[in-house]
Every structure is written in C-alpha cells, then in structure tokens.
Amino acid sequence: PKIEREAIDAVCGDSLRLPFPDDTFSGATVGFGVRNLSQLSAGLADLRRVLEPGSRLVVLEFTVPPNPLMRAGYLFYFRHVLPVVGRIVSGHPWAYTYLPESVKEFPGPSDLAALFETVGFTEVGWTLLTGGIAALHWGSA
C-alpha cells in the first residue's frame, strides 16, 4: 500500500485533543470532516495548536448554496432523492438522512470564517465551489 511506501504513520486519536505536541505540522487539511465534530470550536482550536506558526489549515466542507434556485434544487435533492438512493445502494438510509441535516445545521461560510478567527487563525478566507454546494476555507496559524 502507498502508505507504507511513503513512511506515513496512521494514528487514531480524539479530534478534540489531537495526540501531538504544539507546533508539530507545517499544514493540515480536512475534507468533509469538521462538520462532524461534536465541539467545532474545540476541534478547530486544537488543529490550530498543532500547526506551526504561519502554516495553513484548509477545510473543504458542504454548505447550502446562496442562490435561491440552486438552494431549492439542492435541498430537494438532499431531502428527497439522496435518502432513497442511499437506502437502495448502501442499505444504510440513516447515513443519507444525517448528511442533509448536518449540512443544514453547520455554520455558513462567513460564520465558519469568524470561528476560525475566534480560535486564533489569521489570514482567514473562503470561496464557494460548485455553485455553492461546497466551500473551501483557510486560515494561517
């Protein structure tokens, strides 16, 4: 497996109390994961803690599109189509009802940017992707 060729160690730990010393990493990325943190601000603060000064955190996360027409289609698909397809394909319908609810309850891009700043990130920004279905967020430690 590639992970062995690259000498990467897989570590299992608590995302709210990462098992690494302060200032360990020169960057961090999270794809569709921070939405699932039980304590978002605590998780972001701990990511900030383990980053070297000046390094970046980049987060890709689902969001609700700002365009009313796109938002209506997106929410219809999320609430009515995805759960049915998920039940048929995976046999786990709860996973596909959880996803739209978690996206709906998650802070929007400007609120998440404010939270980045609250926990100590600087040079914070974000951009919408795919018509606003996802957003890429970043901040410097």
Mean pLDDT of the chain: 92
**2 pLDDT exceeds 80?**
no
- Summarize the confidence of residues 39-45 as an average pLDDT: 98
Domain definitions of the chain by residue range: 2-63+106-140
Q: Which residue has the higher pLDDT, 42 or 93?
A: 42
- Sheet holding 122-129: strands in order across? 25-31, 51-62, 134-140, 122-129
**122 pLDDT exceeds 90?**
yes
Tokens of 68: 């009313």
> Distance between CA atoms of 62 and 31, rounded to whole angstroms?
9
Q: Quote the pLDDT of residue 43.
A: 98
Q: Quote the pLDDT of residue 79.
A: 86
CATH class of 2-63+106-140: alpha beta
pTM of the model: 0.88
Tokens of 55: 């390094």
Residue 48 in contact with residue 57, Cβ under 8 Å? Answer: yes
CA nearest 40: which of 16, 19, 17, 59?
16
